[in-house]
Amino acid sequence: MKETSHLRTENLTVSYGGAEALKNINVEIPEKQITAIIGPSGCGKSTLLKSFNRLLEENDGVKISGRVLVDGADIYSDSEDITCIRKKMGLLSQRPYPLPMSIYDNIAFGPRIHGMKKKAGLDRLVEKYLSLAGLWDEVKDRLNEPASRLSIGQQQRLCLARGLAVEPEIILADEPTSALDPKSSQKIEEEFKKLKSDYTIIIVTHILRQARRLADYVLFIYLGELIEHGPSRQIFESPREQVTREYIQGVIS
């Protein structure tokens, strides 16, 4: 396990204005697999996800203690450049939020802010990542249209492509299909299955069937505590804890 862990937390505790949202989380996320974080609403799933790329600290009154290590380096240490940490991780949120610009510029945004200027290079990247997110054929003739004209499902794949374009190692997805229709959801799930050969994917979901379909590794969080974690099969078929079993059987939700 040790050699293949990509991201690891040590005693991670997060509190909002005094109330603890996450308590003492210790977990290792395996590399190049899909890890699902499951648990009821409001139990800290998204908080855990956002602590991985330091987006949490943008909010007022958040206290974070403990460590989050990516490739062995503590991302909360002062010597780390926050933009480099975030660049390592692509984020996919619940609803797609395309940037207020054209489809092309949405993809080119990341590479541009990291210093890429050449049109030919950008063109190549835009095509590469739109193709990787399975969107290229649908938008190649209208790259200069505002991204907001795409359907919600297309927008979510655009956001995926946008995140991939900064060449991250990890994809963080916060209930990425919750605003999408079943067909679009299915497309996103298919993308994830394809992408896991190259990326470590962490997905927050409250859809158990989705976790079952996608995940190789599962974290179950309940009321801010990591109740148990392990390979998907083990969690779904023989959970160790009573509360995990009840959640999976639908007794609690």
Partner 1 sequence: MAGKRSIRDARAGRLMFFMTSACALIVVFMAAGLLIKSFPVLRANSPAQILFSDSWSPLKGEFGMLAFIAGTVWVTGLSALIAMPVSLFSAIYLSEYAPSWLRKISRPFMDVLAGIPSVVFGVWGILIIVPLVRDCIAPFFGVYSSGYSILAASIVLAVMVFPIIIQITIEVFHSIPGELRDASLSLGATKWQTIKLVLLRKALPGIIAANVLGFSRAFGETMAVLMVAGNIPAIPHSPLDAGYPLPALIANNYGEMLSIPLYDSALMLAALVLFLIVIMFNLLSRYILSRINLRAA
Q: How far is the CB of 115 from partner 1 (least distance, A)?
A: 11
**Of 108-116, 133-141, 185-193, 207-215, which segment contacts partner 1 by CB under 8 A?**
108-116
154 binds partner 1 (CB under 8 A): no
In what side-by-side order are the strands of the sheet with 200-204?
Answer: 89-92, 170-174, 200-204, 34-38, 217-222, 225-231
From the number of C-beta atoms within 10 Å of its C-beta (0-12, 13-18, 19+), residue 60 rates as exposed
Q: How far is the CB of 180 from partner 1 (least distance, A)?
A: 15
Per the CB < 8 A criterion, the answer to whether 177 and 94 are in contact is no
Q: Which two tokens stand for residue 222?
A: 């309940």
53 binds partner 1 (CB under 8 A): yes
159 binds partner 1 (CB under 8 A): yes
**Of 81-89, 178-186, 221-229, 240-248, which segment contacts partner 1 by CB under 8 A?**
81-89
Which member of 26, 65, 77, 100 binds partner 1 (CB under 8 A)?
100
Q: Coil, strand or helix: which one is 56?
A: helix
Q: How far is the CB of 78 from partner 1 (least distance, A)?
A: 17
Per the CB < 8 A criterion, the answer to whether 39 and 225 are in contact is no
**Alpha-carbon span 177 to 153, nearest angstrom:** 9
Site residue total, partner 1 (CB under 8 A): 32
The vertex-37 CA angle with 136 and 34, nearest 5°, equals 45
Per the CB < 8 A criterion, the answer to whether 132 and 168 are in contact is no
CB of 3 or CB of 41, closer to partner 1: 41
113 binds partner 1 (CB under 8 A): yes
Q: What is the DSSP letter of 144?
A: T
86 binds partner 1 (CB under 8 A): yes
46 binds partner 1 (CB under 8 A): no
The vertex-59 CA angle with 44 and 224, nearest 5°, equals 15
89 binds partner 1 (CB under 8 A): yes
187 binds partner 1 (CB under 8 A): no
From the number of C-beta atoms within 10 Å of its C-beta (0-12, 13-18, 19+), residue 237 rates as exposed
Instruction: Give the footprint of partner 1 on this chain (CB under 8 A).
Output: 50, 53, 55, 58, 60-61, 83-84, 86-87, 89-91, 93-95, 97, 99-101, 109-110, 113-114, 146, 148-149, 159, 162-163, 166, 172
